[in-house]
Every structure is written in C-alpha cells, then in structure tokens.
Amino acid sequence: MNNLLSESIQQITGQLKNWRRDFHHFAESGWFEFRTATIVAEELHRLGYSLKMGQEVIKADARMGLPSAQALQDQEQRAIKQGALTAWLPHFSGGFTGIVATLDTGKPGPTLAFRVDMDALDQNEEQTPAHRPYADGFSSCNAHMMHACGHDGHTAIGLGLANVLKKHESQLIGKIKLIFQPAEEGTRGAKSMVEAGVVDDVDCFIAIHIGLGVPQGELACGSDNFLATSKIDVTYCGVASHAGGKPEEGKNALLAAAQAALGLYAIPHHSKGSSRINVGVLQAGIGRNVIPDHALMKVETRGETNEINEFVYNQALNIIAGAAKMQGVEYKLELMGAAQSSQPSPRWVDFIYQQARQYVPELSSVVRSRKQPAGSEDATYFMERVKENGGQATYLIFGSELSAGHHNERFDFDENVMTTAVKTLATIAFHLSDFEG
C-alpha cells in the first residue's frame, strides 16, 4: 500500500503546486472566496465526491465579520472576470463560500473529517523580484488581498488529498469528509459551519496548518496553545457641536473611545493563565473645531482558556459601556469574530504520532506538540463540537521554511510541504481501522 500511495502522491505533486499558485495569484479574502470555491467544487465533483455547499453548510446568521452586500456583489463580479466557474457560483453567492465533500466507502467505520481553510488576508503583496511569487509570476493580482498565511497551500492540500483518497477508495473504511472553510482570518467562518451541523456526525477530526514557526520537515501532531478570542467593533455616536461657540451642546464620541481604550488596557490579569487585549484601530472626529460625534474602535480580547477570555471580554463590555455613560453618548457593539481554546484528544494525537513516524519518512521529526507563538484559530469550534459528541479531534502543523513571518507581505513557504502533508493525511485515513476510538 505504501508504495502505491507514494506513487499516487508523486503523480499529484506538480498539480499541488499548480493549484497553490493559481489560488495564490487570484487571492480572495474572507467571504470573497468565490473563484476558489468554484474551482474546489468542480474538482471534487469531477472526482465523484458528494457535495454540500453554500447555505447547506453555512448558517447565515452565524457568520461573523461579513462584508457589506455591495462588497460581496462586487467581489462576485470580480471573481467571474477572473475565471470563476459560473455553474457553481449560485451556491456561494452572497458570502456562502463553504464546501463539504463526502466520500462514503460503503464499509462500516468511523467518519473522518479533514478541515482546510481557503481565505487570503486583506493586505497587499510585495511586488519585487526578491519575492518568489512575484519573480515566478504568481503573486496576487488582487489589491488588498494576499495569501500571507498559507491557506492557498491548505486548499491545494485538500484537493490533493481528495484525489489520493478517491484513487485508493477500496483501502478505506467508513466515511471521509473534506471541509473547505471560508474566512478563517479574523476567526469568522468556522462557527457558521459548526452551527450548520457539518461535524455533528464526525468521529475523528483533523485541522491543519503549515508553517507557524514549526521547523522545516517537522510535524506537530497536537497543537494545543490556541487562545480563545473575541473580536469586537465598537461604534460611539455622540452629538457634533461648535467647539468654541457651543461646546456644552456636544457629546464627545472621541473622548468616550479614548477613555475606553485606556480602560481596556487596565483589565486585570487572571490568575489561571495568560490573557491579551488589543485596541488595533481607533478612528474618530471630523474637524478641529467640531466636537467629535463619531468614533470607531476595533478591539480584540484573548485568553488561554475560554473562561479567561470570557472574563476579559465581560470586563471589556463594562468598560465600553462605562465610557459611553461618562460622555453621554450612544454605542453599538458588533461581534466580528471569535474562537475557542481547545485541547487535542491525547489518544488521537498518539495514533497520528505513531503513523507519521512509521510511514512518512519525508518527515525529519515528529512531535506530539510544540509551543509556537500563541495565536488563535477558529478550527477550535470544530474540535470542541466533535469532542462534545464523544469524538476525537486534533490540529496538525506541518513545519516549513518561510521567507517571512505569517501575515507579512513577503510571506512564502516551501511548496514541498504540501506533498508531505497529503501523504501524512492519507496515511492516517488508510490506517484508520488500527485506531481504537
């Protein structure tokens, strides 16, 4: 089996690179993955997977940080011009850019799900010859959209895995589900898929990421230090007035936001673990001699556990409300994204660890976990739901050399990592009957 698998993976290596470079060139940020989603759907359909798409796998009102209806429409038009396959587009229209592909082997066995994300970031890509994607002609052609986190690679890995699993279907048991998620950046998309029930029947779950500070050639089988997080947009609305003539008639939204920002950084630490607070954006005011009637603040809270994040979040709500009261202004709060903390299932991590060590010689090192710099990841919603239902879940990180850090305009990764990832994930699927769930 191992030789056959290696052969299939060798055959798909060029295609992995082609997909990755195509998705990279036509980078699409969260909820705008129209072109990407149609290409993914077409390939999975061609392979014979049964597909659920759009509103079947995304609960509309559980989407967070959704762009305006106008922006969604404009981006859909842009995607059409860039070669989106229009037959599939109606499924994804309006920001429902998710796909779940199922392969039912017809044999008894667990349901195994793999989740990859598809979105780019809202940033411009470096366009100089020193940056390989530019030098090789596949840097992003879309302004303010760039694959600077490797999700282009994740999407390609998902398609590569779909190919290999289908080819060796007779070796598999149970059901395989491939989940292609939109809008991971800003932790906005996963919850809507979880609430649509896409992992309610899943026994074993794997999410993946490449890079993240893990050394080239290494696999971390159970990443466990994602922070729980909440992203909120706060808008203060006051009353504008002449700053010299009638200051007493104004209600100062800028001051409310400024006081809130200072108050937020004074939230106490929690004895049970680490927390974070950040006010990343504060925009306010209209003119030098006008009492500012409008302010926007973009805030995020994080915590080592859900409990700690909730503590910080609730404190933040008090401070935001208190600052409004101090200035007599109104305020509006919008939750733009959220993720949980989640611990991988130890026996599942152990199984993957053994499999990877035994069958994937391309990996120079396999570890159970590695403490990488803490961020957040909304795959934790899938993990927690699967575990609540008695299943097993984990998060794999495939190490890669990076040309610059994640979310940097010069980000790029070693494309060989995609082949190693497909081989590892396929190996786990092929040996699933050895896992004592």
Contacts with Zn ion by CB under 5 A lie at 149
147 is in an annotated binding site: no
Distances (CA, A) of 121 to 67, 142, 182, 230, 407: 13, 11, 12, 18, 7
Q: How far is the CB of 209 from Zn ion (least distance, A)?
A: 6
For the chain, how far is it from start to end, CA to CA, in angstroms? 23
For Zn ion, the closer of residues 43 and 184 by Cβ is 184
Q: How far is the CB of 149 from Zn ion (least distance, A)?
A: 3
For Zn ion, the closer of residues 291 and 379 by Cβ is 379
Q: How far is the CB of 339 from Zn ion (least distance, A)?
A: 12
What count of residues does the chain have? 437
Q: Which residues, in sequence order, are CB contacts of 378 under 8 Å at separation 6+?
A: 184, 187, 188, 189, 190, 191, 337, 338, 339
Q: Is 301 helix (H, G, I), strand (E, B) or coil?
A: strand
For Zn ion, the closer of residues 49 and 398 by Cβ is 398
For Zn ion, the closer of residues 201 and 224 by Cβ is 224
407 is in an annotated binding site: yes
- Smallest CA-to-CA distance from 323 within 396, 403, 265, 246 is with 265
Q: How far is the CB of 365 from Zn ion (least distance, A)?
A: 22
149 is in an annotated binding site: yes
246/226 Cα distance (integer angstroms):
50
Q: What angle do CA 89, 90, 94 make, to 5 degrees?
A: 95
For Zn ion, the closer of residues 63 and 406 by Cβ is 406
Q: How far is the CB of 399 from Zn ion (least distance, A)?
A: 14
- Smallest CA-to-CA distance from 220 within 346, 401, 366 is with 366
Q: Residue with CB nearest Zn ion?
A: 149
| Beta strand pairing call for 275-284 and 50-53 | unpaired
- Per the annotation, binding residues for Mn(2+) are 149, 151, 185, 209, 407
